[in-house]
Amino acid sequence: MRDAYRDANEGLVAKIRTLEQAVAERDSEIEELKGRAADQDAVLRGLKNLLEGKNGVNRSATIPASKRSFVVGAIVATTLAAIGGALVLARHRNAVTHDEPAVPLPNKMPNAARSIPTGNLCSTPGVKLSVDGSDAFAPASNERDLAGHKYRRGGDRSPWFTVNQTAETGPIYVHGVGGYLSQDLGTTSLSLLTIMTKGETDGYTLARGGKSLLEVTRSDGKFIAGRFEADMSKVEDTTREPPFGTPVVRVRGTFCLPALPANPDDTGP
């Protein structure tokens, strides 16, 4: 637990440093734009002084008519060039800021350190995930990484699956619970789905008003396997329903985990 808190603090410190660097770069950009704005003001004042004179005398009257339009046009062209240069700089800075964000995109999942298995997932038990176009794998490697069914009175049962966060399993924690089925296999919805990554204090949870699906395709006493889909949101507190307007991403996954034997007589909470 102490290591988890330390990793979380290190992640927050790294984010703060990144944000401070972004703020410093933005302050530098603002100062540069202020300098260019001052240059533009000086050019405009020069134009005004040339045409009207510092003492209010209209000096444009002293310029021959044949050359007046040429002189005025040259000064205006210089002014527009200065303004245009500032606008190009601003657009360039803005493009760099948006194309290369200092803070990682919020809805991306990091790839697990281990390679993502292909073929029969039960040959390498765990949970495969696809979150907003990013794939990841949470392998099962200890006695707590299991799947099972929780019974209630009447014989209905709720499927669940869990992969915990440890040094052996990697950076991803996944816990899902489905609605009740009349038998071990079948299709239902998800009543709970939580996904978190090591080093982050926030995580994914079921979206407010979103749709979900959980299908159990194997339950033979050795493994429980299936697939799931859900609308999810990344939030600071995964134990609460996301606020209205929280962005939603579609999460898909498959799982195959060692089966925890269920007791039909254990219908307690």
| Contact in structure between 226 and 216 (CB atoms under 8 Å) | yes
Residue 198 lies in a domain: yes
d(C-alpha 256, C-alpha 223), whole Å:
6
Closest-CA residue to 82 (of 119, 122, 45, 117): 45
| Residue 91 sits in the same domain as residue 191 | no
Residue 33 lies in a domain: yes
Q: Which two tokens stand for residue 230?
A: 């859900």
Residues constituting the chain? 269
Beta strands per DSSP E along 115-171 = 126-131, 134-139, 146-151, 157-163
| Residue 240 sits in the same domain as residue 152 | yes
Residue 248 scores a pLDDT above 60: yes
Domain count for the chain:
2
| Contact in structure between 221 and 261 (CB atoms under 8 Å) | yes
pLDDT computed for residue 178 by the predictor: 97
Residue 105 lies in a domain: no
| Residue 7 sits in the same domain as residue 87 | yes
The region, left, alpha or beta by phi > 0 then psi within -120 to 50, assigned to residue 53 is left
Residue 171 lies in a domain: yes
d(C-alpha 160, C-alpha 154), whole Å:
19
- Higher pLDDT pick, 18 / 209: 209
3-state secondary structure 139-151: ECCCCCCEEEEEE
Instruction: Tell me the H-state helices in the chain.
Output: 2-52, 65-99
Per-residue pLDDT, averaged over 111-115, amounts to 50
pLDDT computed for residue 102 by the predictor: 31
pLDDT computed for residue 269 by the predictor: 75
Residue 106 lies in a domain: no
| Residue 195 sits in the same domain as residue 142 | yes
Domain boundary among 67, 99, 131: 99
| Residue 159 sits in the same domain as residue 244 | yes
| Residue 95 sits in the same domain as residue 172 | no
Dihedral of CA atoms 210, 104, 175, 225 in degrees, nearest 10, equals 90
Per-residue pLDDT, averaged over 204-208, amounts to 96
β pairing state of 172-178 and 186-188: unpaired
Domain boundary among 99, 131, 164: 99
Residue 153 lies in a domain: yes
d(C-alpha 244, C-alpha 241), whole Å:
9
| Residue 77 sits in the same domain as residue 173 | no
Domain boundary among 99, 133, 168: 99
| Residue 161 sits in the same domain as residue 126 | yes
Residue 180 scores a pLDDT above 90: yes
pLDDT computed for residue 226 by the predictor: 97
Closest-CA residue to 232 (of 132, 160, 94, 91): 132
Residue 247 lies in a domain: yes
Residue 217 Cα distances to 2, 30, 160, 178, 268, angstroms: 38, 58, 13, 13, 26
| Residue 70 sits in the same domain as residue 192 | no
When pLDDT is cut at 50, 70 and 90, the band that residue 229 belongs to is: very high
Output the average pLDDT for the chain. Answer: 76
The region, left, alpha or beta by phi > 0 then psi within -120 to 50, assigned to residue 106 is alpha
d(C-alpha 30, C-alpha 223), whole Å:
60
Dihedral of CA atoms 10, 15, 19, 25 in degrees, nearest 10, equals 80
Cβ contacts of 67 within 8 Å, gap of 6 or more: none
Per-residue pLDDT, averaged over 239-257, amounts to 95
Per-residue pLDDT, averaged over 114-129, amounts to 85
| Per-residue pLDDT reduced to its tens digit, 52-87 | 655 454 544 555 555 555 444 555 554 555 445 544
| Residue 152 sits in the same domain as residue 234 | yes
Residue 231 scores a pLDDT above 90: yes
Residue 83 lies in a domain: yes
For residue 66, give its domain range.
2-99
Closest-CA residue to 80 (of 36, 34, 48, 40): 40
| Residue 83 sits in the same domain as residue 171 | no
| Residue 42 sits in the same domain as residue 75 | yes
d(C-alpha 40, C-alpha 38), whole Å:
5
pTM for this prediction: 0.58
